[in-house]
Chains A and B, each alone.
Chain A
Amino acid sequence: MWSGILLGLAVYTLFGLVPAVANTVVSFTNYALYPGAPVNFTGWSNYTSMFTSERPGFMQALVATVVFVSAVTIAQNVLALSVAHRLVGDSRWNGLLRVLVFLPIVLGVTIVGLVWILFFEPGQGPAASMWGLFGAKSAFFGSDTLAMPLVIGVQVWQNIGFSALVFLGGLNAISPEIYQAAEIDGVTRWRRLSRITFPLLAPAVTVNVLLAVVGSFTTYNLIYVLTAGQHGTMTLGMLSFTAAFTDSDLGYGAALGTVLFLMTLLVALPLMMFLRRREVRLLT
């Protein structure tokens, strides 16, 4: 019995817990990507240099992260809720639509990213021909103005299915008897939405908002595939990866990772408390 537990715990500790903690340790060193380079403790220099011109890009990344996280969180939840509202009910067509909105999650970020790269191919792609109807031209993912909105859009497209299904679970959990009672009382459609559906959906809102915030703060795999952080899409996560594995400065990359982790906690924990309190307020 213990051998089974210990085996699992050993793997989990070694490759799950240790890296998460060791990241902070690495952030105080000048660890380089290539083996053999001397490793020294450098104190806070990886942190203080973020704000100097020696390593430009931190402030831009901070702004890009805030834009990315807020836009993705709002768009993903609003759209997912609309999709979920449409998918209530067990008709055959709804079953098919559920499969379709879930498809991007199964296909994964690489295939999704490459599909959209082909769609927004600046020469021959369908988006270019639509743009052409208005006499406009764009490099899309290679454009400084459009790259960020497009990356946000693809991120939302990729994750909407999961959020929509979580909302759908919440909507299905609302007992039909409550709606029937409301109907007998002659409650209008709008009041039914604002007084019954919305409050009872509060737990699903909590789950979805937190997943979207934490997810868009920390993941950069889609950005890596679409733009690799070029054209104004360099979020903090992407910058940390680039610093470490392109500029071969693991220490600085780890410092950026630690800052990102603290920022995520700083936003997610108060948000979680707010949303939990909101649930209590709406459900009582």
Chain B
Amino acid sequence: MTATSIRPASRPASTQTKRGATLRRRQRFWARLVTGLLIAVVFLGPVLYVAMIAFETPSHFLRSPMTPPTSADLSNFSQAWTGADLAHELINTAIYSVVASGLSTLLALLIAFPLARRLVRGHRPLYTLLVIGLFLPLAYIPLFIESRMLDLYNNMPGYIILHVGFGPNLPLGVVLLYAFILAVPAELDESAWLDGTGYLTYLFRVIVPLTRSALLISFLYGMLQVWNDIIGPVVLLAGTSANLFPVTRGIYNFYGLNESAYTIFAAAVAIASLPLVVLFAGTQRQLIRAATAGSVKG
């Protein structure tokens, strides 16, 4: 609602309406302030509470959990770090999510380019086949049986390969890249073919730089998907001497084992959140723009 409203020229703006407009503007300011604060409190409050109690000593937490700690106590963090084997699990998670999402983005590019350029026969049914993947149910039960048959159960390469093919990442990457490649003029291809540039050289020298933003989005969303997966590690990994768990299952198990040590547990949650918060701080612009564009593309 804009403050300046157009009125018929025959009725000059009186002081009455001017005062009314100022009042409305002031009301609007307060309404926006209150709703903005409400959103901030609802979305940040619980997260800040966990961050706060992570610094409280257990005795302070038992006495008055809602008051901020008097001195920053880091012992929760060191206990969580060693108790939940967080260093190990964070490295596992980083390997799983970066490699799996990197591979599925790469494969999506290798599929999307020839389909978008109609370089292969049957490009249309192939594209439809991939779009179907966006709507498939996550069938963990057959996937579990398959993983045991193919010796992909409870090992690192297996867990990664399963996550490349499973879930919406690969089809989503194809659909996204397909749309972006269509926007790259085909004349570029032709001049490259005439120059005798190889297929892969052309793909990586020309197409990859031009579709950089789509590749980044596909990689980031894929990475978040693998990073935050909790059912996958429950179904596809077992507790063995070599800890293969990603940090999601690690902190979930840690909660089950230490149900009353809330401050230590809160520290574990805070440590596990930190890489995601840093990642988000660096890429929020791209992630949010992609989500906002989602509705327009349909």
User: Which residues of chain A from 138 to 166 have any CB-CB distance to chain B below 8 Å in the complex?
Assistant: 157, 161-162, 165-166
Contact A23 B114 (CB under 8 A): no
Pick the contact of A224: B61, B227, B230 (CB < 8 A). B230
CA distance A119 to B49 in the complex (A): 8
User: Which residues of the other chain, A, contact B42 by a CB distance below 8 angstroms?
Assistant: 157
CA distance A97 to B2 in the complex (A): 22
A110 at interface by CB-CB < 8 Å: yes
Contact B164 A102 (CB under 8 A): no
User: Which residues of the other chain, A, contact B61 by a CB distance below 8 angstroms?
Assistant: 124
- Min CB gap B178→A, angstroms: 13
Contact B224 A110 (CB under 8 A): no
Q: Is the interface of A mostly helix, strand, loop or mixed?
A: helix
B188 at interface by CB-CB < 8 Å: no
A271 at interface by CB-CB < 8 Å: no
Q: Which B residues have a C-beta under 8 Å from some C-beta of A?
A: 1-2, 5-6, 32, 35-36, 39-40, 42-44, 46-47, 49-50, 53, 61-62, 65-66, 107-108, 110-111, 114-115, 119-120, 126, 129-130, 132-133, 135-146, 148, 161-162, 164-167, 170-171, 174, 199, 224, 227-231, 234-235, 248-249, 251-252, 255, 262, 265-266, 269, 272-273, 276-277, 279-280, 284, 287-288, 291-296, 298
CA distance A7 to B298 in the complex (A): 29
**Given A1-B119, A111-B276, A261-B137, are A118 and B269 neighbors across the interface (CB < 8 Å)?**
yes
CA distance A31 to B224 in the complex (A): 32
A26-B145, A111-B251, A169-B294 known, 12 other contacts, Cβ within 8 Å: A5-B110, A7-B107, A8-B107, A11-B165, A15-B143, A23-B137, A97-B40, A110-B230, A111-B269, A114-B265, A115-B49, A126-B66
**Given A117-B255, A169-B293, are A225 and B266 neighbors across the interface (CB < 8 Å)?**
no
**Given A12-B133, A106-B280, A107-B273, are A221 and B230 neighbors across the interface (CB < 8 Å)?**
yes
Contact A12 B272 (CB under 8 A): no
Contact B130 A12 (CB under 8 A): yes
Pick the contact of B262: A19, A121, A208, A250 (CB < 8 A). A121
Contact B40 A99 (CB under 8 A): no
Q: Mark A59-71, 1 if CB is under 8 A from B, else 0.
A: 0000000000000
- Min CB gap B189→A, angstroms: 12
CA distance A16 to B265 in the complex (A): 35
Contact B276 A108 (CB under 8 A): yes
Pick the contact of A19: B146, B231, B269 (CB < 8 A). B146
User: Which residues of the other chain, B, contact A72 by a CB distance below 8 angstroms?
Assistant: none
How many A-B pairs fall under 8 Å by CB? 255
User: Which residues of the other chain, A, contact B167 by a CB distance below 8 angstroms?
Assistant: 16
A173 at interface by CB-CB < 8 Å: yes
Contact A18 B142 (CB under 8 A): yes
Contact B296 A169 (CB under 8 A): yes
**Given A108-B228, A170-B295, are A15 and B49 neighbors across the interface (CB < 8 Å)?**
no
User: Which residues of the other chain, B, contact A105 by a CB distance below 8 angstroms?
Assistant: 224
User: Which residues of the other chain, B, contact A22 by a CB distance below 8 angstroms?
Assistant: 139, 142, 145-146
Find the A residue at minimum CB distance from B108.
A8
CA distance A108 to B141 in the complex (A): 23
A245 at interface by CB-CB < 8 Å: yes
CA distance A115 to B277 in the complex (A): 15
User: Which residues of the other chain, B, contact A173 by a CB distance below 8 angstroms?
Assistant: 295-296
**Count of chain A residues with a beta carbon within 8 Å of a chain B beta carbon:** 88
CA distance A15 to B115 in the complex (A): 21
- Min CB gap B15→A, angstroms: 22
Contact B291 A166 (CB under 8 A): yes
User: Which residues of the other chain, A, contact B166 by a CB distance below 8 angstroms?
Assistant: 15-16, 19
Contact B43 A15 (CB under 8 A): no
A260 at interface by CB-CB < 8 Å: yes
User: Which residues of the other chain, B, contact A117 by a CB distance below 8 angstroms?
Assistant: 255
Pick the contact of B294: A93, A101, A165 (CB < 8 A). A165
Contact B114 A5 (CB under 8 A): yes
Could you pull out 28 A-B pairs where Cβ atoms are within 8 angstroms?
A1-B120, A11-B161, A15-B143, A15-B146, A16-B136, A17-B129, A19-B143, A20-B137, A86-B36, A93-B36, A100-B39, A106-B287, A111-B273, A111-B276, A114-B252, A114-B255, A115-B46, A115-B50, A157-B43, A183-B6, A203-B298, A207-B294, A207-B295, A218-B137, A221-B229, A221-B230, A244-B140, A257-B139
6 pairs of A and B residues whose beta carbons are closest in the complex: A108-B228, A15-B165, A4-B110, A8-B107, A22-B142, A11-B165
